[in-house]
Amino acid sequence: MFKGSYVAIVTPFRNGKIDEKKFEELIEFQIKSGTNGIVPAGCTGEAATLSHEEQKHLMDLTVEIVNKRIQVVAGTGSNNTEEALELTKHAKKAHCDGALMITPYYNKPTPEGQYRHYEKIAKAVDIPIVLYNVPSRTGISMLPQTVARLSKIDNIMAIKEASGSLDQVSQILSLCDITVLSGDDSLTLPMMAIGAKGVVSVAANLIPKEVADMVNYFLEGKLDKAMKLHYKMMPVFKALFIETNPIPVKASMGLIGLLTPEWRLPLCPPVDETTEKLKKVLKEYGFKVNA
């Protein structure tokens, strides 16, 4: 069910509020560029500083704008199981195609606690669920054995794997047939080489066509073309994590005129050194960069 290039879309703000007009423009840009799915209210969408009402509104808005043209997989995770359940119920009500659920952060549950967290939500809400393993954000990683155990629940269908470990992906796929999506742009092609089916991409906010083309080339067996794009995009992939995501990607979008960047505290604009590095990478890629 989940395959291809999904964008972990940024949340544009204007004077501290969600800029709905710009959000619609960004979604249309993605659809026109061949992106397979929109992922609103995730880490890149600054979900940590969105209220629950704002998260729900983004789900509704995304589904309305997309209008069934591509998939919508809403970020519904929390370190509070009841909160994650509430958000996932809304994703179902909003007619999202799936829910992306980050592993509970900060309270660092045991493997058994992780299992029970996802099990409770999956059994309560009949919506396709994508697990999300990102230990750099959560402080804990999901064991491949836990993923395999969860994959036996019918509507747990995929995992966004952002541990940075190809060994982790290999172990998961050796234990079960869950769909793996890369959560690291720079590892998308290597992950697909060992069985992943696509990516939930940060870089696609900037270069959606190229990310989608790389994934599609691989799926079509055009490995040389996929590899050529991988190496072309690599400097962009790396630059977008010079500072905490989504600081660099929003700054970059501002530099090429896609939006006027604005963040919610505690995130803030990048330091001047980072901005200069981003300008250099974007210019070398071929973008016309605003001063």
Could you report the per-residue pLDDT of 139-187, keeping only the tens digit for each? 999 999 999 999 999 999 999 999 999 999 999 999 999 999 999 999 9
Q: How far apart are CA 192 and CA 122, in angstroms?
A: 27
Helix axes 208-219, 223-239, angle to 10 degrees: 150
Catalogue the active-site residues. Answer: 132, 160
Binding-site residues from annotation for pyruvate = 44, 200
pLDDT in tens, 189-208: 999 999 999 999 999 999 99
> β-pairing, 13-14 with 17-18?
antiparallel
What integer pLDDT is reported at residue 130 of this predicted model?
98
Beta-carbon contacts of residue 215 (< 8 Å; ≥ 6 apart): 4, 5, 188, 192, 198, 199, 226
pLDDT < 70 regions, the chain: 291
Amino acid at the residue 95: H
DSSP state of 287: P
DSSP state of 125: S
**Architecture of domain 4-222 in this structure:** Alpha-Beta Barrel (3.20)
Q: How far apart are CA 212 and CA 14, in angstroms?
A: 29
Binding-site residues from annotation = 44, 200
Asked if 169 contacts 180 with a C-beta cutoff of 8 angstroms, the reply is yes
What integer pLDDT is reported at residue 71 of this predicted model?
98
> β-pairing, 198-201 with 13-14?
unpaired
**What's the number of CA atoms in the CB half-sphere (13 Å) around residue 134?**
20
Amino acid at the residue 156: I
Note the Cα 43 to chain centre separation in Å: 7
Q: How far apart are CA 58 and CA 138, in angstroms?
A: 23
What integer pLDDT is reported at residue 2 of this predicted model?
97
> What is the residue-averaged pLDDT of the chain?
98
**Apex CA 209: angle with CA 155 and CA 237, to 5°?**
85
Q: How far apart are CA 263 and CA 270, in angstroms?
A: 10
What integer pLDDT is reported at residue 25 of this predicted model?
98
What integer pLDDT is reported at residue 290 of this predicted model?
84
